[in-house]
Chains A and B, each alone.
Chain A
Amino acid sequence: MTSELNRMTIAEARDGLARREFSALELTRACLEQIKLVDPKINAFITVCAREALAQAAAADRRLAAGDAPALCGIPLAIKDIYATRGVRTTCASKMLENFVPPFDATVIARLREAGAVFIGKANMDEFAMGSSTENSAFGVTRNPHNVERVPGGSSGGSAAAVAADECLGALGTDTGGSIRLPAAFCGVAGIKPTYSRVSRYGVIAYASSLDQVGPFAKTVRDAAILLRTLAGHDPRDSTCSARPVPDYEAALTGDVRGMRIGVPKEYFVAGMEPQVETAIRAALASYERLGAKLVDISLPHTEYAIAAYYIVATAEASANLARYDGIRYGLRVDADNTGDLYNRTRAAGFGTEVKRRIMLGTFVLSAGYYDAYYLKGQKVRTLIRGDFDRAFARCDVIATPVAPTTAFKIGEKMADPLQMYLSDIFTISVNLAGLPGLSIPCGFDRDGLPIGLQLIGAPFAEETILRAGDAFERTGAVKRRAAIL
């Protein structure tokens, strides 16, 4: 039993800890053992926090013994290395922040601490969350636990891989254009991007401020619901964060989807999609019908403009967000005789290729004379896309789509062609542009054993609905397969 603790779900571990069947320390040790065993093969972590994690676990045990156990007491989590963690280096997978140790916690980190969670380590990612494969990391590529020749998806690839490889019970990611949902799909785990403003962004290193959103990875939809309840809620440090009360997401998991209207947008079933992906999605839709849900054909006509709009808005915001990495106050500095050269050398040495590409793109679209043609147009497209969804949600409760047109691709396969890489997010990006919640759950495997993800999109703040739908599908038990490296 003890050696398998790390394979548990959060719900299982919560019960086991409460019944004192094992200790938080044992649970954390099991995860650390697993990391020792498998992480050399997948490189899911930039920093493993063994000492801190064991101390947190010991503290959790004291609280458990005192009968004062908060929601996530003793639960080991992987934290994407984009979250500021006080006293633990936070790199954002960039050379720029290789030795940066924040003096403060992100709001969600503080919330998780309060809830008794154990931070097992800082997970690998694409540098500054820019990428779809976790190949753009200054700390090496993360490999897919289902096939180490494949990418785990990105940008939160380390978090997804760590969960899939049972190195932790759950993980934090962030999602700006699909960075939770794509790796969840590629690694065969659950991942939810909540409504924009549902979770505080304070202390989350910004990529694109109007799109970035915090969310969890988990082995089950129930676990994702448990984590989201702790993460969500108002934060006076984030002016864009909603004051809406946080529901008990776990209580929404009734298993009942009878009468639920599931919208199927025709624009998401197009040429270029792998037939095996479409087959799996259609099968999942058929399951929903068997469970009593109703399928509704819908249209999201502006879908084709989403990627273009995204790469304008996101890069514009990124170009400003990343201006602070100038070598003056913290992080990498490459010295020079004058300030201009200091900036140039520091930023040339500190940023990777994709980050530079996006900073330049964003700088261009905001430049005098181009603003109206690009940034403003991008924002208008965003309004149209939001309108598409508003109309669709008048006719359905949930929208179901594939997460990606393919399963996990080979490492290196798309690195030479950024545009091909950008297309990986074709089905996830609109959800960010519209600020909606989106859940990714495994719904099958291709012939090579690679997971296929189903995306369930909700209306603003309809997290309960998509979690209920995801959980109901999960209960059918159709798709359980352990990662190959296990």
Chain B
Amino acid sequence: MSDSAYEAIIGLEVHTHLMTRSKLFCGCSAGFGAGPNENVCPVCMGMPGVLPVLNRHAVELAIRAGLAAHCEIAPESIFARKSYFYPDLPKGYQISQYELPLCKGGYIELPAHSEGAEPRRIRLTRIHMEEDAGKNIHESDASLVDFNRSGVPLVEIVSEPDIRSADEAGAYLRELRSILRYIEATDGKMEEGGLRCDVNVSVRKRGASEFGVKTEIKNLNSFRFVEKAIEHEVARQIEILESGGRVAQETHLWDPVREVTRPMRSKEFANDYRYFPEPDLPPLRVSPDMVEAIKASMPELPADQRARFVRDLGLTAYEAAVLTQDRDLAAYFETMLATGLKNHRTAANWVMTEVLRAVNETARPLADAAPLAIESGQLLKLVETGAISLNAAKTAFAAMCKSGKGAGATVAELGLAQVSDEGAIAAACDKVIAAEAAKVAEYRGGRDKLFGFFVGQVMKAMGGKGNPKVVNEILKRKLNA
């Protein structure tokens, strides 16, 4: 039985840290890297008698996220207490939003995943604010809790069940990460708990209108795990249905080692969270002026930038999508163009191949892995003016990645400049023609294919630096003379 008889119905709940200096409800640093329990105070430790005070910057970042995702910003939203016992949850409840979230509706537009594909819109249910919990650390003889993360601001971004495959879930997450980084709401670092994801998955026969029974997979912390977990879960559910069984509505955990999902014991998730409005915080009121001010400060978003790249620069939808996956990458590309490059697609391909290769090979941030964008631009400028070949530019780029030197200096140092001087090229041609009299006779006798051979010989004689265009012209003229 092939999978294609079924379709998957997937919804994601993404939790991501907001990039604020201080925590959501107290003045402690929200930064990472401090020693255990260094960034704590009575408030985020849940001491008796303490009260939360909302971080304005966190609200602004959450509103930016809402605006970027085309949500409606609620003029009045409320915080709620979500109660459950866990050692890393100091108050025994998490301050979250429940009935009236800050952002409602909206959508994320996915870029075309390949040439010619249609863009897809994934609708959002809501975006709300909440505080993070601490972190349990289990050692052989003891369990410890680090509360540095307790109270760090999060947004939870809840999608409608509009996603249809593991690939699409991956595309959604990448686009979401890109948007959140463009608006500087998050730093997108997943390894520090910057992004966590719960997945709801069900399958149904293609064409069916009813949803199947869904399972929830909790706490996935990488895009790859999300995709793997969905693939696994979809296959598992189809297998159950195909063998005449019924999918149980349950919560699963992803086992990243064995790459399977397993149901949580009922005790692990059978929580009645007993939500009720947080009496320690007044309703969060957001004025239209505040929303307008934030709107005015929003940068160009990935989708708009993609559209502009296609419309104004002549890139393909796919090229535009790759470049806008990352704000820094897109900025790199645009800075290169600012040197006055005429061939935008060459520049785009340069970023997608050379620059991304440098990033991937070094596994370092763009700014460290690649030369300054302006130098990359200068390098391609040399190609456009015919001063160097594209291959020479690649050689120079590899050297620049290591040395950090400029384009001009590197080309000179490596002697990569092309020779376009007609006298030098003519001399080289004459030498080759004289040395290869027999082949010249054959060529003149009608063996046109030999032209390539002569070009190769001339280039060899010139140490590979002859301008191919000029070499072609002069050689042709001399052979046909």
Contact = CB atoms under 8 A, between A and B. Distances in A.
Interface string B38-52: 000010011111111
B90 interface: yes
Contact of B51 (A97, A238, A322): A238
Given A103-B42, A316-B276, A202 B48 contact: no
A237 interface: yes
Interface string B293-319: 000000000000000000000000000
B279 A209 contact: yes
Contact of A326 (B47, B92, B274): B92
The dominant DSSP class at the B interface is loop
A320 B51 contact: no
B83 interface: yes
A30 interface: no
A328 B47 CA distance: 11
B281 A239 contact: yes
A238 B91 CA distance: 17
Given A84-B47, A205-B48, A104 B42 contact: yes
A287 to B, nearest CB: 39
Contacts of B48: 84, 90, 92, 97, 100, 102, 205-206, 324
Interface string A343-365: 10000000000000000000100
Given A324-B46, A363-B274, A239 B52 contact: yes
Contacts of B90: 324, 328-329
Given A203-B50, A239-B280, A320-B276, A328 B87 contact: yes
Contacts of A84: 47-49
B54 A202 contact: no
Interface string A60-80: 000000000000000000000
A242 to B, nearest CB: 11
Contacts of A320: 81, 83, 91-93, 274, 276
A90 B50 CA distance: 14
Contact of B47 (A102, A208, A323): A102
A271 interface: no
Interface in B175-215: none
A102 B279 contact: no
A95 to B, nearest CB: 14
B156 to A, nearest CB: 20
B49 A106 contact: yes
B91 A102 contact: no
Nearest to A211: B279
Contacts of B409: none
Interface string B275-293: 1100111100000000000
A323 B50 CA distance: 14
Contact of A209 (B42, B275, B280): B280
B280 A104 contact: no
Contacts of B81: 320
Contacts of A239: 51-54, 280-282
Contacts of B53: 236-239
Contacts of B42: 102-104
A317 interface: yes
B91 A202 contact: no
A316 B46 CA distance: 18
Given A239-B54, A240-B280, A206 B49 contact: yes
Interface in A428-474: none
A84 B46 CA distance: 13
A240 B47 contact: no
A323 to B, nearest CB: 2
Given A329-B46, A368-B272, A339 B87 contact: yes
Contacts of A375: 276
A204 interface: yes
Interface string A169-207: 000000000000000000000000000000001111110
B51 A202 contact: yes
Interface string A361-388: 0010011100100010000000000000
A63 to B, nearest CB: 28
Interface in B49-93: 49-54, 81, 83, 85, 87, 90-93
Contacts of B282: 239-240
Contacts of A210: 279
Interface residues of A, number: 44
Interface in A86-112: 90, 92, 97, 100, 102-104, 106
B92 A201 contact: no
Nearest to A102: B47
A206 B280 CA distance: 10
A330 B145 CA distance: 13
A319 B51 contact: no
Interface string B82-114: 010101001111000000000000000000000
Contacts of B91: 320, 323-324
A205 B87 CA distance: 21
Nearest to A338: B143
A417 B138 CA distance: 46
Contacts of A324: 46, 48, 90-92
A210 B278 CA distance: 9
B272 A323 contact: no
Contacts of B54: 239
Contacts of B87: 326, 328, 339
Nearest to A208: B279
B281 A329 contact: no
Given A209-B279, A366-B276, A323 B49 contact: no
Contacts of A102: 42, 47-49
Of the candidates B42, B143, B281, the one having the most CB atoms from chain A within 10 angstroms of its own CB is B42
Nearest to A363: B274
Interface in B104-148: 143, 145
Of the candidates A205, A208, A320, the one having the most CB atoms from chain B within 10 angstroms of its own CB is A320
B439 to A, nearest CB: 86
B279 A317 contact: yes
B52 A203 contact: no
B280 A367 contact: no
Nearest to B136: A339
Nearest to A91: B48
Contacts of B93: 320, 323
Contacts of B145: 328-329
B51 A343 contact: no
A204 B274 contact: no
Of the candidates A201, A205, A326, A330, the one having the most CB atoms from chain B within 10 angstroms of its own CB is A326
Contact of A104 (B47, B83, B92): B47
Q: List the 4 closest A-B pairs by CB distance, nearest first.
A: A323-B92, A366-B274, A209-B279, A210-B279
Interface of A: 82-84, 90, 92, 97, 100, 102-104, 106, 201-206, 208-210, 236-240, 316-317, 319-320, 322-324, 326, 328-330, 339, 343, 363, 366-368, 371, 375
12 contacts: A82-B49, A84-B47, A102-B42, A103-B42, A104-B42, A210-B279, A236-B53, A320-B81, A320-B92, A323-B83, A326-B87, A326-B92
Given A97-B48, A239-B280, A343-B85, 8 more contacts: A103-B42, A201-B51, A203-B50, A237-B51, A324-B90, A328-B87, A371-B274, A371-B275
